[in-house]
Amino acid sequence: MRFPYGLSDFATLITERYFYQDRTDRIPLLENTGRQLLFIRPRRFGKSLLLSMLEHYYDVNRVDQFDALFGHLAIGQNPTPLHNQYFVMKWDFSLVKAQGDVKDIEAALHQHLNDCIQDFALRYQGRLTHPIEIHTDNALSSWRSALMAVSQTPHKLYLLIDEYDNFANEVLMTGRKQEYYEALLYGEGLLKTVFKAVKAAAGGQGLDRAFITGVSPVVLSDITSGYNVAENIYLKAAFNDLCGFTEAELAAVLARMADEGGSWAAAALDLMRTFYNGYCFSETGGERLYNPTLSLYFLKALYTEGHYPRRLLDENLAMDRSKLVYISQLPHGEALLIQALNGDQGIVIPQLARRFGVQDMLTAIKDQPFMASLLYYFGVLTLAGEGPLGKLLLKIPNLVAKQLYVERLQDLWLPTYEDRQLLESNAEAVYLRGELTPLCDFIEQRYFPVLSNRDYRWTNELLVKMAFLTLLFNDRLYMMVSEIEVDHGYVDLALIVRPDLRRFEALDLLLEFKYVSLKDLKLTGEQLREKTRDELAALPPVQAQLQAAADQAQQYGAALRDRYGLTDLRAFAVVALGLEQVVWRAV
């Protein structure tokens, strides 16, 4: 088997017999849905391959390749009348250089469009009876010339636009060139004028269909008056899995790899489910999807190297850290990341923001629905159902995405090299020996002073759990599960050693957290610090909470042992006393 990690050319995948999960059965539905479609998905979710598939299906130049490319696929058995009936032009705005001043960026955009039109003219020169004139300084004139040439033929044009929102992403994530973006998109800015030209072309000038992909609807809001004809299909249930893999599809691949169902296939799927599954793009619900880039990264390593990749977060996805940096710098953004990490509750919002412009991003009040919607579009939150009043519930989709949150909070809370070095040795004491005392000392001395100065709404076990989660998170060794449902309850925090790394000495761990306020203790922080941990543990309110946590740990530990086949799970009861002291005991 050959896995097309990093490849997005449909013909290469098919002719060189790479793995391809057939999505051609959706072509009739796409045709019937609308002539100008907007499809949004997070980065590296297979959008470019989807565009390439459409390009090869509709391209009039590839009619002789139809059977070779599509004959064995769903659409090949029942093609639509439109197959191989179009001239196809493709624009990719990720290739437009966004450096320099406004004139430089405009020149780069003109150059990209002209290059695409020039390529179009060369590819179809045998079918065009009218020459296409390239106007170096005015790509819109070149565009009109191409439309004129198309109008002299029996065929019409299908336009594919990839990463249409690339400029907005540059502004949002780097904080640069706000005035440049406004000059391009507002008033009679060039990018807005380009989309006005696309709209006009669809009004009888030869453009019959357009398919546009991007990461968010930001640009669409800013160009509404110039391009208000696209139909948004990104939240429609019928297209939930247009990109991405279902669990059944990956199970079938793993079964083939395991020689007709070898025993390791189920374990590999369980690991992939923990790290890569969980995405849903329909407000009305739908099957959870696996990120295709991460899945292919995993499958390729497993097939070619015979073992799981050591790092389960592909660095191509790790670049999404910048999105969390942006959110964490907004007012209350840091608290939103903490709330998202609370897997049981997640984030509840009335509805996703579908239309917001860059000006809103830069100047408007960033409330929770605004920020949560952005995290959804960026792919680090996903739809997880509805609340009792019909509000949307958003959660972190999987462990890979959760790692990005943890890393961001670590950067905020532990910025120094010394902190990181000390943390590593303290965490290893927990991994190897189940010794929590050094880590609790670290939390009291380093973490609590930081957290107590933050404007959080929570001073309870959630913050204590966040401290341990961010300090112990280690996807290189563990499947870390928080708020996993077992035995009619939710585990606070469990670290289950990855099945491929059980040859090492790391322990399986379970921690249950409780919180006692200073008010309940009738003590001040200074009085607490004067007592030893044994003295604190003997206080009646603390003793009661330790016992409650221990009872839960025993109950959930039994369920985890059965679920994962564990023989030496170490369980702990942990109680925080305000944001001052931490006591613990092994269960």
Distance CA 221, CA 195 (A): 12
* Number of alpha helices (DSSP H) and beta strands (DSSP E) in the chain: 28, 15
**Residue ranges of E strands in 247-380:** 347-349
Are 587 and 554 in contact by the 8 Å Cβ rule? The answer is yes
Q: How far is 70 from 62, CA to CA, in rounded Å?
A: 11
Query: Where is pLDDT greater, at 438 or 491?
Result: 438
- Once rounded to an integer, what is the mean pLDDT over residues 36-46? 92
Residue 292 pLDDT grade (very low, low, confident, very high; cuts 50, 70, 90): very high
Residues 343/483, Cβ–Cβ less than 8 Å: yes
Report the pLDDT averaged over residues 458-487.
Answer: 81
Residue 249's alpha-carbon distances to 19, 70, 100, 255, 295, in angstroms, are 11, 19, 45, 10, 11
Structure tokens, 295: 């899945």
What tens digit of pLDDT does each residue of 482-513 get?
Answer: 656 666 678 889 999 998 898 999 999 999 99
- Look at residues 201, 463, 229 and name the one whose alpha carbon lies nearest to residue 337: 463
Reading the block at residue 134, the tokens are 């390239």
Read off the pLDDT of each residue in 333-359 and give the average, rounded to a whole number: 81
Q: What is the mean pLDDT of residues 243-254?
A: 94
Q: What is the pLDDT of residue 184?
A: 73
pLDDT score for 92: 95
DSSP state of 124: T
Nearest to 550 by CA among 504, 511, 578: 511
Chain mean pLDDT for the chain: 88
* Across 28-37, 228-237, 364-373, least confident range: 364-373
Report the C-alpha gap between 504 and 307 in whole angstroms: 15
* CA–CA dist 270, 264 (Å, integer): 10
Better pLDDT: 475 or 481: 475
DSSP letters spanning 406-447: HHHHHHHH--SHHHHHHHHHHHHHHHHH---HHHHHHIIIII
pLDDT for the residue 539: 95
The continuous run of DSSP H or E covering 220 comes out as: helix 218-222
326: confidence class by pLDDT, cuts 50, 70, 90: confident
Question: How does DSSP classify residue 200?
Answer: H
Task: With cut-offs at 50, 70 and 90, classify the pLDDT of residue 451.
Answer: confident
Burial of 459 (0-12, 13-18, 19+ CB in 10 A): middle
Half-sphere CA count of 544, side-chain side, radius 13 A: 6
Q: Which position has the higher pLDDT, 220 or 410?
A: 410
Delimit the domains of the chain by residue range.
10-239, 247-278+289-318, 414-587
What per-residue string of b and e applies to 14-44 under the rule 16 or more CB within 10 Å gives b? beeebbbbebbebbeebeeebebbbbbbbbb
* Token pair in block for residue 121: 């003219």
Cα radius of gyration (the chain): 27
Q: Tens digit of pLDDT for each residue in 51-64?
A: 999 999 999 999 99
Q: What is the pLDDT of residues 400-420, one digit of tens each?
A: 888 889 989 988 888 888 888
459: left (phi over 0), alpha (psi -120 to 50) or beta: beta
Q: Is 65 helix (H, G, I), strand (E, B) or coil?
A: helix
Q: Who contacts 373 (Cβ-Cβ below 8 Å, separation ≥6)?
A: 349, 352, 353, 356
- Neighbouring C-alpha atoms within 13 Å toward the C-beta of 195: 28
Reported residue count of the chain is 587
Distance CA 121, CA 132 (A): 6
Residue 99 has pLDDT above 80, yes or no: no
| Position 180 pLDDT exceeds 80 | no
> In the predicted model, is pLDDT for residue 165 greater than 80?
yes
> Confidence class of residue 361 from pLDDT cuts 50, 70 and 90?
low
At residue 33, the pLDDT reads 96
3-state SS, residue 55: helix
Q: Quote the CA–CA distance of 473 and 407 in Å, as a whole number.
A: 9
- CA atoms of 564 and 586, how far apart (whole Å): 21
- Higher-confidence residue of 495 and 318: namely 495
Q: What is the pLDDT of residue 261?
A: 47
Rounded (5°) CA angle 291-296-300: 155
Look at domain 10-239 and name its CATH class. Answer: alpha beta
Any idea of the CA torsion for 444, 446, 449, 454, to the nearest 10 degrees? -120
Give the model's pLDDT for residue 357. 67
